[in-house]
Amino acid sequence: MPFANPLDVQWKFAERLYTEWTENREDLKGVLESVETPSLVMRKSLIEKRYGEVIKHFDRFKVYYAVKANDCEGVIETFANLGAGFEVASVEELRRVFKFGVSPERVISSNPVKPLEFIDFCLEKGVDRFAVDSFTEVDKIARFKRRARVYVRLAVPNVGSDWPLSRKFGVDTDTAVEIMEYANRRGLIPYG
């Protein structure tokens, strides 16, 4: 039995999803017919619903929205109004988040390599939590002589994953301990 063409499968899935999504929704069909393609259409209520589900099931954790995933102001504003935290990787992303009254305590930066200008901007604005996956990143943050909080991302096995990320992010546990001890010696606060 021959395998189906993956593009045909994707197209059929998209067609079916579109039909289900727009069925009995004349208001939505009107919106979709009035925009040029490609376009991205989002439902604020669905963002709110999904965020509610995440915080319900992970109620002991603080949830951070990665602005790089979608920096649309409507999305950022929705998450800001829901009380979400934000993960930023650039000055522009931080400015977009602050535009909606988000306090610095709700912002982290997990970017593995941060320009000095970005670190300085964050610290000036009160954002003081940074991922450090290397001794070099510890040194970059420590040079500002502020008690920034730092955390290390751990590399995890890629078993069962559809996307190979096991070597892309994080460090092994022994290296993580060494980085945190080094950060402490450099005057930073090991945070996680």
Same domain for 89 and 134? no
Mean pLDDT of 18-41: 80
Q: Looking at per-residue confidence, does 38 or 125 come out higher?
A: 125
Residues spanned by the domain of 150: 129-192
Domain end among 108, 143, 160:
108
Determine, yes or no, domain membership for 74.
Answer: yes
How far is 166 from 173, CA to CA, in rounded Å?
Answer: 14
Helices 116-125 and 91-98: angle between axes, nearest 10 degrees: 20
Asked if the model's pLDDT at residue 167 lies above 70, the reply is: no
Residue 48, C-beta contacts closer than 8 angstroms, at least 6 positions apart: 78, 82
Quote the pLDDT of residue 164.
Answer: 67
* Type of residue numbered 149: R
Domain end among 58, 74, 108:
108
Determine, yes or no, domain membership for 50.
Answer: yes
For 78-121, write each residue's pLDDT tens digit: 999 999 999 999 999 999 999 999 999 999 999 989 999 999 99
Give how many domains the chain has, as a whole number: 2
Determine, yes or no, domain membership for 81.
Answer: yes
Same domain for 166 and 134? yes
Same domain for 191 and 162? yes
Tokens of 87: 């993960």
Rounded mean pLDDT of the chain? 91
Asked if the model's pLDDT at residue 1 lies above 70, the reply is: no
Q: What is the pTM of this model?
A: 0.81
- Give the pLDDT band (50/70/90) at residue 63: very high
Percent of the chain with pLDDT over 70: 96
Quote the pLDDT of residue 109.
Answer: 98
Residues 129, 109 contacting (CB under 8 angstroms): yes
Determine, yes or no, domain membership for 123.
Answer: no
How far is 87 from 70, CA to CA, in rounded Å?
Answer: 12
For 119-152, write each residue's pLDDT tens digit: 999 999 999 999 999 999 999 999 998 889 999 9
Same domain for 49 and 98? yes
Domain end among 56, 78, 108:
108
